[in-house]
Structure 1
Amino acid sequence: MQQAVVRPPTHNSADADLAIDDLVRDDRVRADVYTDAHLFDLEMERVFNRAWIFMAHESQVPNAGDFVTSAIGRQPVIVVRDAKGAINVLYNRCPHRGAIVCRESEGNTHRFACPYHGWNFRIDGELSGIPFRSAYDDEFLQSEDLSLARVARVENYRGFVFACASHDGPSLVDYIGPLKDGIDNLLDRSPSGEVFVSAGVHRYRYKGNWKMQLENGLDEYHPPFSHASTVRPGGQQLQRAYAAKTGYKVLSDKDPNEADAKSHYDHGEVHGARYGQAYLTIPDATRRSELEVPEYRQGLIDRHGEQRALEIIENSNMSNAVFYPSLIVRVSGNMHIRVVRPISVGETEVLVWPMQVKGVPEQVNKGIVRYANVHVSVSSFVQTDDLEIFERVYEGLQARQPQWVMLARGVGREWDGPYPDEKVGYATWETGMRAQFRYWKQLMSENT
């Protein structure tokens, strides 16, 4: 296997070649991985074109002709349900001269038409019309595939639709590994076995690298500091989840700067597994407070029986599930889908859809939406802090020294988890981020 190199690295001399292998160590990564435009271009080819990328929830396209537009890295795609009920993922590019054929973010249509020369396509992507087609030879029309191109693989796990641009690689279930448990528990907690996404989307951009948001979804070290304005006396945050009686506890009574101080968050765990998949578990009732609503609990008992319902509630400890490299799902509390889309090395788009639970009282779903606004909207009390930090990090990394970004919390102290290659640490450790970079290094080092 030939090792990939990048020219030139940001933090070394301009005429040096920096091997991918030199960018990632067990406890640190080079600042270049967040700032180098050459590396970013390689990521689009070797990470996003090989990984399973979240496309949509099936409830967003319930009927024939329903579509949403999405992306695989920088490649625009259309997610559309066809007349037979299948969900297709099509490259959003006319095969004639390359124009995008669908600009809207969502809608319903009976065809897609190119605005440039009027070529049109059925909702399954097949070519249905060429204006003034007599100028083309029949041999040309018959020998060329002039339909919208299909993404190589599409899989749907319990309503969550993913696509992969590569024909090779693991299946979706193998790829997401332990995060399957988070989706299963999320749906088991629905009295109907379903969730849906129909309350709208928060969409915003920040000036920073895409990996910053993915890593932040696993970072329980930062809340007392980045979100200090939301922390009340006693170390509890403002209320962030429907039906919670208090906010999340983020500080213990001891000064965090004392030598033997430990974070309150370390009663939870962070897991990092194969293919960069990672998640947080926080055994805190405020993270699943909606399950304390009597009507909600009764709905679970009616579906599962009392013993099984109580087991499901007790096991609802997964907080953030981070599907590398494109998705964060909050699977308990203020449940939402958060998609991370790279625009350039220094610009990232984030889209957040609140998830609602089918079969629960209406006030529960209204509460989930309300607290999504408090937590992850562009005008929230929490996500705005994170966006400011991402921009400060990207600005700070323009300094040439030091060369490294540290990911050393918990190195050498982790224990094995139940899944292949899974390591487990306390929630403030950087275990999940290290798992992400191990897979990043693997993908970026492979030329084929």
Structure 2
Amino acid sequence: MREIVRENKEKHEFLVHRSVFTDREILAIERAEIFNKCWLFIGHETEVPQRGDYKRKKVGGRNLLMVRSQDDQIRVLYNTCPHRGALVCRENEGNARVFRCFYHAWSFKNDGELVSMPGKDGFPEDFNSEGTKNMKAVKRLESYRGFLFVNFDGQAISLSNYLGNAKEYIDLIVDQSEFGLEALGGVQEYNVRANWKLLVENSADLYHGMPTHKTYFDIKQAQDKELKRVKLEGKGVALGNGHGVIEYVAPWGRPIAQWTPIWDENLKRDIEQIKTALVQKFGEERANRIANYNRNIIIFPNLIINDIMAITARTFYPTSPGYIEVTGYSLAPKGEKETHRIARNNNFLEFLGPGGFATPDDNEALELCQEAYTNNQDVEWNDISKGMIRGEENTLATDETQMRSFWRQYNTIMQGAIDKEAIHR
């Protein structure tokens, strides 16, 4: 049996074999058993607010079209013509009642129904009586509090059951506004020369924060004269089903209700009012978690929701073992004041944006890991053991509990597939 994860609870040791970052056979199994069968984030409901609104999406290696049809239902269609396979919709976003294929001019309503085609006399009268020539819809589309997920496996468990304990942390984000969240315009798209699982780890890894992003934290220290030292303190939690989270305090401002001295006094008064309203609605403890604690959430396999100095959702898909395509979304509470939105966007660009303090450093770190995996034959294992000695219920946010949650689920899925393949051989 091929061993990809090795866990020794007595020694407090958790190891991951480095072949999972470089092996093409492993990637093929991941595509078949993970990306074809797990719930994958496609976008937020507010991206298509009006009837006819659509967005092109690439999810799980598929070209998809997320559209709000004329019946006000959000649908996800495979963006391929049933005739000869061309992309039906070539624009990245827009509003349309009908999609027309460029190649042979077959036309489809925005719910996917074929409505016209040139040379109709060359086809039988009942040509599409069973709907087989309509644009095909993805088998499963479900939503949790505005977050939309697709699943290409018709037998998959419900999204609610799949998210499980992670819903508590999504709720903490959405409850920042009584009106919920909205996606802000545009997306970030970039590539990293690294394996997709390295970005999963990095996105909920507070251990690297201080050494890798030292310049940023030095600036935060200088901006707040009352800050005696920069603290990143909290806990890491395994949420089951491969999900995990770190929840912690940090020195940056949060537009929802944590003021920072770089913002003016008017913003401070607004933030105090927001905090008071949260306390009245949710009580002191939950209001404090919503306002003053940060969250980096792993939703297995490839969604990271960061509720830190801004709210982001990031997904990624491997085109090869050492190359990923990344898409990043920015979200914010509906009804937020313009001054808060400006502070939020400045926060986002300063740290999380493509030219911010975090993203370039993180990408460099991941690419350095990938480059060094040429040594795999001689140095075989990564160590993901930090915090095991404290017990899984008591680990710190700078430990690796949340990563072990991901790797245990990954190992269960992959090992089952590898064992099956060995039997068939």
TM-score for both structures, normalised by structure 2: 0.86
**SS of alignment partner, residue 118 of structure 2:** coil
Q: Counterparts of 2:236 and 2:194 in 1: how far apart (Å)?
A: 24
Which of 419, 425, 437 is residue 407 of structure 2 equivalent to? 437
Which has the higher mean CA deviation after the structures are superposed, 323-332 or 207-216?
A: 323-332
Could you tell me which amino acid in structure 1 is paired with residue 210 of structure 2? P
Q: Counterparts of 1:247 and 1:131 in 2: how far apart (Å)?
A: 70
Which of 21, 25, 30 is residue 6 of structure 2 equivalent to? 25
Q: Cα distance, 1:115 vs. partner? A: 2.1
Could you tell me which amino acid in structure 2 is paired with residue 349 of structure 1? E
Could you tell me which amino acid in structure 2 is paired with residue 76 of structure 1? N
Distance 1:370 1:446, change over 3 A: same
Q: Counterparts of 1:238 and 1:429 in 2: how far apart (Å)?
A: 27
Is the contact between residue 374 and residue 380 of structure 1 (CA under 8 Å) also seen in structure 2? yes
Q: Cα distance, 1:247 vs. partner? A: 8.6
**Where do 5+ consecutive residues of structure 1 fail to align?**
1-18, 251-263, 417-423
Could you tell me which amino acid in structure 2 is paired with residue 294 of structure 1? R
Matched with 1:195 is 181
**Bigger fraction of residues in helix:** 2
Matched with 1:110 is 97
Matched with 2:306 is 330
Q: Cα distance, 1:228 vs. partner? A: 2.9
- Residue 428 of structure 1 pairs with residue 398 of structure 2: yes
Which of 232, 243, 246 is residue 280 of structure 1 equivalent to? 246
**SS of alignment partner, residue 291 of structure 1:** coil
- Deviation per residue, 1:80-118 (Å, 9 max, x gap): 111111111111222222222223332211222222222
Matched with 1:253 is none
Could you tell me which amino acid in structure 1 is paired with residue 3 of structure 2? D
User: Residues 136-285 of structure 1 correspond to what in structure 2 (within 5 A)?
Assistant: 136-138=123-125, 141-142=128-129, 145-190=132-177, 192-232=178-218, 265=232, 267-284=233-250
For the aligned residue pairs, the C-alpha RMSD in angstroms reads 2.6
Distance 1:22 1:388, change over 3 A: same
Matched with 2:265 is none
Q: Cα distance, 1:54 vs. partner? A: 0.7
Q: Cα distance, 1:412 vs. partner? A: 4.8
Is the contact between residue 218 and residue 270 of structure 1 (CA under 8 Å) also seen in structure 2? no
Is the contact between residue 238 and residue 401 of structure 2 (CA under 8 Å) also seen in structure 1? yes
Which has the higher mean CA deviation after the structures are superposed, 377-386 or 98-107?
A: 98-107
Is the contact between residue 279 and residue 318 of structure 1 (CA under 8 Å) also seen in structure 2? no
- Deviation per residue, 1:344-391 (Å, 9 max, x gap): 222112222221222232111111111111112211111110011111
Matched with 2:270 is 295
Could you tell me which amino acid in structure 2 is paired with residue 25 of structure 1? R
Which of 326, 348, 352 is residue 376 of structure 1 equivalent to? 352
Is the contact between residue 256 and residue 274 of structure 2 (CA under 8 Å) also seen in structure 1? no
Q: Cα distance, 1:289 vs. partner? A: 5.5
- Residue 68 of structure 1 pairs with residue 55 of structure 2: yes
Q: Counterparts of 1:395 and 1:305 in 2: how far apart (Å)?
A: 49
Could you tell me which amino acid in structure 2 is paired with residue 315 of structure 1? R
**Where do 5+ consecutive residues of structure 2 fail to align?**
8-13, 259-267, 421-425
Distance 1:318 1:380, change over 3 A: closer
Which has the higher mean CA deviation after the structures are superposed, 272-281 or 128-137?
A: 128-137
**SS of alignment partner, residue 78 of structure 1:** strand
**SS of alignment partner, residue 371 of structure 2:** helix
Instruction: Report sequence identity in percent.
Output: 29
Q: Counterparts of 1:247 and 1:126 in 2: how far apart (Å)?
A: 60
Q: Cα distance, 1:315 vs. partner? A: 2.0
**SS of alignment partner, residue 22 of structure 1:** coil
Is the contact between residue 336 and residue 355 of structure 1 (CA under 8 Å) also seen in structure 2? yes
Could you tell me which amino acid in structure 1 is paired with residue 192 of structure 2? Y
Is the contact between residue 299 and residue 360 of structure 1 (CA under 8 Å) also seen in structure 2? no
- Deviation per residue, 1:256-283 (Å, 9 max, x gap): xxxxxxxx54x31111222111111104
Could you tell me which amino acid in structure 2 is paired with residue 408 of structure 1? S
Q: Counterparts of 2:170 and 2:405 in 1: how far apart (Å)?
A: 20
- Residue 398 of structure 1 pairs with residue 374 of structure 2: yes
Matched with 1:409 is 386
Distance 1:231 1:285, change over 3 A: closer
Which of 55, 58, 80 is residue 45 of structure 2 equivalent to? 58
Is the contact between residue 219 and residue 430 of structure 1 (CA under 8 Å) also seen in structure 2? yes
**SS of alignment partner, residue 388 of structure 2:** coil
Could you tell me which amino acid in structure 2 is paired with residue 386 of structure 1? D
Matched with 1:257 is none
- Deviation per residue, 1:44-80 (Å, 9 max, x gap): 1110111111111111100111111223321121111
- Residue 130 of structure 1 pairs with residue 117 of structure 2: yes
Q: Counterparts of 2:228 and 2:6 in 1: how far apart (Å)?
A: 34
Q: How many residues align?
A: 400
Q: Counterparts of 1:273 and 1:382 in 2: how far apart (Å)?
A: 26
- Residue 308 of structure 1 pairs with residue 282 of structure 2: yes
Which has the higher mean CA deviation after the structures are superposed, 308-317 or 209-218?
A: 308-317
Could you tell me which amino acid in structure 1 is paired with residue 270 of structure 2? E
Which has the higher mean CA deviation after the structures are superposed, 381-390 or 71-80?
A: 71-80
Matched with 2:342 is 366
Matched with 1:321 is 297
Q: Cα distance, 1:248 vs. partner? A: 11
Is the contact between residue 324 and residue 436 of structure 1 (CA under 8 Å) also seen in structure 2? yes
Matched with 1:344 is 320
